[in-house]
């Protein structure tokens, strides 16, 4: 077999694989993040569905079905809904962010990422932990108030920006005037 | 509080050091390549392992081949060093072949640094007939991980087991470290085993080299019958008069031989004909 034939054979088999894969395409999302919402708002009695503009969950202190005046504890939202253009090393990093009504983050949960080095950048609990209690006015600077990981700087930078920018967007539209 | 607060200053400043060090590394790699200097090549290896490897984990991964299928790339303005690195890899491959494999890849540099340390008699020379088939394995590995990615969309899974580049992050499971240990022990006996036979990134760059390589290694007419370079080539890239572009990593070993007036038959025959040795220093273009 000549070199050219070999290259052609490889190209042909690769395109067959692409065709098969396109048919078997899968989308990674977490349609019902009940457990994640509970982690962000442990005291919440009920959560709304994902709704509104921008898309968000509302966390209530009491079930609004039985208590019409149920207090709102905060909101939760997906970074991928708010800043879909924000890509890590390989595609968007799916992060659920919780924020109380004063613009302070109650926490973040990284549910899915396709970062090659996700397992030592955005997956460890240590990464998510550092955003709890952060205010939207904080700088979110990697190497400053967000820990740097020199071997995964693109993943960490993207995740920190996604959290910061989505929280600020939501705060601007949903939080009371004083919290903005 | 508006989300868009990053000015150019905030975007560029954190990237300047990485950009500067990468530019310095690229310069070193190209100078060592153009000067065909063995000493500078080893300096490049050490810099590749230390900086690109253990400091930055900047290696081309097969996940970078996955991008060609979903066109997913990092954001340009926040990832300037990455774009510079990838441009360097693609341009050098198109112009000269697998230069990346030969002196930029931190893992390749690591295994090549074993060469001067490990005694020659410990090395096992793979017979040509086996080598010819063994170096096709990497295309199979590439096709397999690409198929796995396309079906599952799982990026991290296949690259943990198909490539050892995670080692520079010093982060792996016991199974991953055990596999790497086996691979490195095998590399003591079979030179650059992973690069030659298994690496899916090398396979992808090999396909590009095979099709493009603009500036090829020139050969003398004597190369048709002489076997000296073929025997010297540690990458199994020379078969008779032919240099297999997909296997050649531009290590310069054969090019240094061509220029050696005491060893290369081209010069020995030339001197014999002319009856003297006062030939101007050769230039190989």
pLDDT bucket at A23, cuts 50 / 70 / 90? very low
pLDDT of residue A17: 59
What is the rounded CA–CA span in Å between residue A127 and residue B208?
38
pLDDT bucket at B276, cuts 50 / 70 / 90? low
pLDDT of residue A24: 45
Average pLDDT, chain B: 89
pLDDT at B278 over 60: no
pLDDT of residue B3: 54
pLDDT at B25 over 80: yes
- Cα B28–chain centre separation: 15
pLDDT at B240 over 90: no
**Interface A:B, Cβ pairs < 8 A:** 113
Instruction: Using CB atoms, pick whichever of A24, A158, A180 lies closest to residue B75.
Output: A158
Beta-carbon separation of B74 and A154 below 8 A? yes
pLDDT at A57 over 70: yes
Beta-carbon separation of B169 and A120 below 8 A? yes
pLDDT at A79 over 60: yes
List pLDDT tens digits, range A162-176.
Answer: 999 999 999 999 988
Q: Give the pLDDT mean for B172-190.
A: 92
Q: Give the pLDDT mean for B180-207.
A: 94
pLDDT of residue B10: 83
Average pLDDT, chain A: 86
Chain A residues with CB under 8 Å of B74 CB are 87-89, 154, 158
If you ran DSSP here, which 8-state letter would residue A142 be given? B
Residue A113 Cα, gap to closest chain B Cα (Å): 9
pLDDT of residue A25: 44
pLDDT of residue A178: 65
pLDDT at B49 over 90: yes
Chain A residues with CB under 8 Å of B145 CB are none
Among chain A residues, CA nearest to B82: A154
A178 touches chain B (CB under 8 A): no
Higher pLDDT, B149 or B280: B149
Q: Give the pLDDT mean for B260-277.
A: 78
B238 phi/psi in degrees, rounded to 5: -115, 125
pLDDT of residue B270: 80
Listed range (A71-75, A146-150, A165-169) with the worst mean pLDDT: A146-150
pLDDT of residue B105: 96
Residue whose C-alpha is closest to residue A154's, from A114, A109, A97, A98 = A114
Coil, helix or strand for B157? helix
How does DSSP assign B103-137, residue by residue?
A: II-HHHHHHHHTTTTS-GGGPPPPPHHHHHHHTTH
pLDDT bucket at B285, cuts 50 / 70 / 90? very low
A44 touches chain B (CB under 8 A): no
Instruction: Using CB atoms, pick whichever of A10, A20, A87 lies closest to residue B75.
Output: A87
Residue whose C-alpha is closest to residue B3's, from A171, A177, A178 = A171
- Note whether A120 and B171 are within 8 A (CB): yes
Among chain B residues, CA nearest to A82: B3
Beta-carbon separation of B78 and A161 below 8 A? yes
List pLDDT tens digits, range B109-137.
Answer: 999 999 889 888 888 888 888 888 999 99
pLDDT bucket at B281, cuts 50 / 70 / 90? low
List pLDDT tens digits, range B142-167.
Answer: 999 999 988 888 888 878 889 999 89
pLDDT bucket at B196, cuts 50 / 70 / 90? very high
pLDDT at A19 over 80: no
Beta-carbon separation of A14 and B146 below 8 A? yes
Among chain B residues, CA nearest to A171: B1
Q: Give the pLDDT mean for A1-15.
A: 69
Contacts of residue B216, defined as CB under 8 A and 6 or more positions apart, other chains included, come to B97, B243, B245
Higher pLDDT, A31 or B30: B30
Listed range (A131-140, B246-255, B258-267) with the worst mean pLDDT: B258-267
Q: Give the pLDDT mean for A56-75.
A: 91
A94 touches chain B (CB under 8 A): no
pLDDT bucket at B179, cuts 50 / 70 / 90? very high
pLDDT of residue B263: 85
pLDDT at A4 over 80: no
ipTM score here?
0.80
List pLDDT tens digits, range B78-103.
Answer: 999 999 999 999 999 999 999 999 99
pLDDT of residue A100: 94
What is the rounded CA–CA span in Å between residue B94 and residue B104?
15
Contacts of residue B246, defined as CB under 8 A and 6 or more positions apart, other chains included, come to A3, B98, B206, B207, B209, B210
């Amino acid at each position: 077999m000549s070199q050219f034939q070999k290259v052609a054979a490889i190209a042909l088999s690769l395109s067959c694989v692409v065709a098969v894969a396109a048919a078997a395409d899968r989308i990674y999302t977490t349609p019902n993040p009940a457990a994640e919402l509970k982690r962000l708002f442990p005291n919440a009695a009920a959560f709304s569905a994902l709704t509104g503009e921008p898309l968000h969950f509302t966390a209530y202190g009491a079930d609004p079905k039985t208590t019409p005046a149920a207090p709102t504890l905060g909101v939760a939202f997906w970074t991928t809904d708010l800043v879909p253009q924000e890509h890590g090393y390989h595609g968007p990093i799916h992060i659920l962010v919780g924020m109380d009504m004063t613009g302070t983050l109650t926490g973040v949960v990284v549910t899915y990422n396709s970062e090659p080095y996700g397992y030592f950048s955005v997956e460890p609990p240590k990464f998510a932990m550092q955003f709890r209690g952060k205010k939207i006015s904080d700088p979110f600077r990697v190497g400053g108030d967000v820990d740097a990981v020199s071997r995964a700087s693109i993943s960490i930078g993207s995740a920190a920006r996604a959290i910061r920018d989505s929280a600020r967007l939501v705060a601007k539209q949903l939080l009371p005037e004083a919290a903005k | 509080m508006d989300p868009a607060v990053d000015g150019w200053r905030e975007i560029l400043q954190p990237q300047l050091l990485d950009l500067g060090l990468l530019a310095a590394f690229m310069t070193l790699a190209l100078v060592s390549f153009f000067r065909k200097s063995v000493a500078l090549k080893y300096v490049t290896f050490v810099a590749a392992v230390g900086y690109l490897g253990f400091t930055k984990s900047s290696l081309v991964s097969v996940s970078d081949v996955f991008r060609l299928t979903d066109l997913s790339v990092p954001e340009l303005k926040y990832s300037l060093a990455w774009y510079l690195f990838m441009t360097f890899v693609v341009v050098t491959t198109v112009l000269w072949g697998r230069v990346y494999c030969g002196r930029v890849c931190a893992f390749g540099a690591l295994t090549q640094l074993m060469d001067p340390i490990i005694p020659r008699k410990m090395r096992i020379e793979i017979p040509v007939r086996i080598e010819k088939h063994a170096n096709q394995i990497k295309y199979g590995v590439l096709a397999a991980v690409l198929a796995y990615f396309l079906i599952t969309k799982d990026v991290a899974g296949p690259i943990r087991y198909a490539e050892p580049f995670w080692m520079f992050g010093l982060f792996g499971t016991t199974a991953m470290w055990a596999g790497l240990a086996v691979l490195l022990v095998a590399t003591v006996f079979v030179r650059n085993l992973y690069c030659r036979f298994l690496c899916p990134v090398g396979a992808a760059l090999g396909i590009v080299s095979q099709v493009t390589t603009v500036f090829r290694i020139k050969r003398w007419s004597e190369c048709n019958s002489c076997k000296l370079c073929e025997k010297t080539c540690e990458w199994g890239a020379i078969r008779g008069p032919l240099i297999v572009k997909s296997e050649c990593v531009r290590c310069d070993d054969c090019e240094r031989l061509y220029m050696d007036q005491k060893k290369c038959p081209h010069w020995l025959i030339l001197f014999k004909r002319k009856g003297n040795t006062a030939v101007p220093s050769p230039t190989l273009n």
